[in-house]
Amino acid sequence: MSQSVLIIDDEEDLIKLLMIVLEKEGIKQVYSATTATEGMRVFKAVKPDLVLLDIMLPDGEGFDICKQMRQISQVPILFMSAKSEEIDKLLGLAIGGDDYITKPFSPKEVAYRVKAHLRRAAFVPEANTEVIRAGTFELDETRSELKKSGIIIELKPKELRLMTLFMKNKNQIISKETLYTRVWGEDFFGFDNTIMVHIRRLREKIEEQPSQPSHILTVKGLGYKFVVKDDGK
């Protein structure tokens, strides 16, 4: 599953530069528009996973476009603007923006911010990823696909992020704090219930007996451990 990004900006050279950098970072589907009208049309047509939105456009303001997008979608919206006043940043965040990047900026920094927001919203494959194997489990990060004994197991984005973290750290204890920070992209402030619910749902999908798990084990007072035998033996 490939993630997609829509760039709405009237600077075509900037769009081309961002496209090149994003592709190098593993984001292959990048769409663009140079006006507010075209931007909304493309947004509705392709339903991108994230939007990079300029505030000043030839036929409107990015703030107004953001409000329209928020009526139909909750995808991350990152403002790009030469306006550096604090009031503009606060307004952008208040109306539903997720980040505010001041021009001029480093395209590489923008790419990193894009990937960070996509990870929080769902699961983003890293560039040049490989298939991860642990016991009878096989996870293809590029396809966002998990198999157990060759059979595909359908996972939701957060479940896939959890499974990726477990498989990369098989037979090791992972704290709840680490799980929350790495999967949800936020600091851990006692979100025990959130983690427990997702672990329970994941167990229901990968365990033979979810109530008596043999793979995702609770280590009391420490966190969780994903247990598998090497090479599936």
Query: What's the pLDDT tens digit per position in 147-171?
Result: 999 999 988 888 888 999 999 999 9
**Alpha-carbon span 182 to 187, nearest angstrom:** 9
Q: SS3 for 45-90, per residue? A: HHCCCEEEEECEECCEEHHHHHHHHHCCCCCCEEEEECCCCHHHHH
- 115: three-class secondary structure by DSSP: helix
The pLDDT of residue 96 is: 85
Lowest mean pLDDT among 21-35, 103-117, 126-140, 142-156: 126-140
Under the banding of pLDDT at 50, 70 and 90, the label for residue 64 is: very high
Give me 45's structure tokens.
């047509």
Query: What's the pLDDT tens digit per position in 86-111?
Result: 788 888 888 888 889 988 888 888 99
Provide the percentage of residues in the chain whose pLDDT is more than 70.
90
Average pLDDT over residues 211-230: 92
Give me 59's structure tokens.
């036929």
Q: Exposure pattern of 136-174 as b/e (b: 16+ CB <10 Å)? A: bbbbebeebbbebeeeebebeebbbbbbbbbbeebeeeb
The pLDDT of residue 211 is: 94
* Overall pTM > 0.75: no
Average pLDDT over residues 73-97: 85
Check pLDDT > 90 for residue 128.
no
- Residues counted in the chain: 233
**Alpha-carbon span 228 to 136, nearest angstrom:** 8
